[in-house]
Structure 1
Amino acid sequence: MKFAPTLIAAAVISAMPTAFAQSTTDISVTGTITPAACRPTFVGGGVVDFGRIASHDLEEDAHTPLPEKALALTVVCDGPTRFALRSVDNREGSATWPSGAGARAAYRAHGLGMSGEEKLGHYLLDIEPANAQIDGATAYATYTQDQGLTWSNTADAVHPISPLELVGFSFNAGHSAGPDPVTHLASALRISAHVAPAQELSLTDEVALDGSAVIEVVYL
């Protein structure tokens, strides 16, 4: 019964004079069926715990950096596959603006959650190609900010993982052709967390940092 109004409208339109039925628009339905699936995993389950942080140790008017931590990331595919990585911030909107940072660092900052209306801070995720291998060979990273239309030159420099960049890997340095098909990636993911300035926080009750993100495999 829910479709009856639509059917009636269609009948009325088709009965109208030809002059009223000439405007059309097309629908394009696209997608890619990939023969291989890739599974990203973290050794130890992907939990980063900074322990207890005393409020008197926080900087008053600047972000307080926490000790850097790293996770071992692996991506295993059923067969050689062109893919890239990006993050999805499950606490979107809670990230503070990195102190003294430009726009690139700001848009790749992930939130540490909220305490009422107060943002608790942010953290950055960085992939380290110097400590990465693809199919047992040295990995060189490349990134795109336009969904794969153009790629940066492949290099062993540190690259951010963010919601707005795709990072892929190649067997060779110095080209901009994008990622190569690979079956296995093993890399370190560096986590740099920063607590908001103390003057921006109430600090009257115990508050838990609550960062959460997903590392997503994007097939190319």
Structure 2
Amino acid sequence: MKKYFMALSTAALVNVAPYALASSTDLTVTGVITPAACTPSLSNGGVVDNGKISAKDLNPTTSTMIGRHPLKLTVACDAPIQFALNPIDNRAGTGALRTWFGLGLTDAGEKLGHFSIGVSNTLADGVAAQAIESDDNGQSWFRAHGSAPGLLLSVASTTDDSTPLRVKDLTMDFEVRTSIAPANSLTLTDEVVMDGSATFEMKYL
């Protein structure tokens, strides 16, 4: 019975179609294959260890910075190319501000704190350059003094912060600053593990 009904429906559509107004929509698939590939890496395996912090050393009413750790970012490409890094907060929603990376939650569901990343000493193919970032997916750029979730990070010449350079080898100094939320907003009766994590995704421009 089901097949018979479908056959009737099809026949009805065929009879009506010549008298119906035609309409259509287009699908366009685009893209670019780049001959170059880049590999980003961080010194110390990208690990920042703040060690053990005593709860009594935390400020009760304001955030407490517990560490400033240097890391070196290196990007090595097969050939000069425009690229950017997309910082992804793997603990999104646990930082106090969108521009900070979260440290995860306590067992009681409280935001433990955050870490931020400062950027300095940028070298593009051995020449002094400046870090730039974009908050509109690369449509526009401005000078960067740090790296934040969702803001593309790239590099430009020291005289023009509006256009990413074509670079083969890039180095940047990162400073990772870790802060704990006010102690009176946290349940600290047991040990709490800091669980900050970020991924820097390579994007070709």
Task: Please give the range of the TM-score, normalised by the shorter of the 2 chains.
Answer: 0.7 to 0.9
Seq. identity, %:
38
CA–CA distance in 2 between the matches of 1:159 and 1:30?
Answer: 34
How many residue pairs match? The answer is: 195
Matched-pair contact (CA < 8 Å) for 1:86–1:218: yes
TM-score (structure 2 length as normaliser): 0.86
1:73–1:91 CA distance, 2 compared to 1 (3 A): same
Once the two structures are superposed, what CA deviation does each residue of 1:171-204 show, in whole Å capped at 9, x if it has no partner? x323244111010011111111110111111101
Displacement after TM superposition at 1:84 (Å):
1.3
The Cα offsets for residues 44-76 of structure 1, whole Å up to 9 and x where unpaired, read as 211100000000011111111112111111000
Match of 1:179 in 2: 164
Hey, which bits of structure 1, 4+ residues long, moved more than 6 A? none
8 A Cα contact 2:130 2:161, kept in partner: no
Q: Which amino acid aligns with 1:165?
A: L
Instruction: Name the residue aligned to 1:160.
Output: 146
- 1:112 paired to 2:103: yes
Q: 2:151 corresponds to which letter in structure 1?
A: E
Report what 1:101 is aligned to: none
Per the normalisation by structure 1, the TM-score is: 0.81
- What is the deviation of 1:214? 0.6
Tell me whether 1:40 sits opposite 2:54 in the alignment.
Answer: no
Q: 1:20: how far off?
A: 5.3
Q: Distance in 2 between matches of 1:162 and 1:66?
A: 19
Computing the radius of gyration from Cα coordinates, the structure with the larger value is 2
User: Contact 2:88 / 2:150 at 8 angstroms: preserved in 1?
Assistant: no
CA contact (8 A) 1:108 1:160 kept: no
Judging changes above 3 Å, is the alpha-carbon distance between structure 1 residues 32 and 63 closer, same or farther for their aligned structure 2 residues?
same
* Distance in structure 2 (CA, Å) of the matches to 1:166 and 1:32: 19
* 2:3 match: none
- Report the secondary structure of 1:24's partner residue: coil
**Comparing 178-187 with 135-144, which one deviates more in the overlay?**
135-144
What amino acid sits opposite 2:135 in the alignment? Q
Rate the CA distance shift 1:60–1:77 in 2: closer, same or farther, 3 A.
same
**Whole-Å Cα distance in 2 between the matches of residues 114 and 21 of structure 1?**
58
Q: Which amino acid aligns with 2:173?
A: A
Aligned-partner Cα distance in 1 for 2:151–2:115: 16
How large is the Cα RMSD of the aligned pairs? Answer: 2.1
* 2-structure distance, mates of 1:217, 1:112: 23
Q: 1:159 touches 1:167 (CA, 8 Å); kept in 2?
A: no
Tell me how far apart the structure 2 counterparts of residues 23 and 113 of structure 1 sit (CA, whole Å).
Answer: 51
Q: Find the partner of 2:128 among 138, 141, 150.
A: 138
2:19 corresponds to 1:29: no
Distance in 1 of aligned mates of 2:183 and 2:45: 31
Q: Secondary structure at the match of 2:140?
A: coil
- For structure 1, which segment, 16-25 or 194-203, has the greater mean C-alpha deviation from structure 2 after superposition? 16-25
Return the offset for 1:151.
1.9
SS state at 1:56 partner: helix
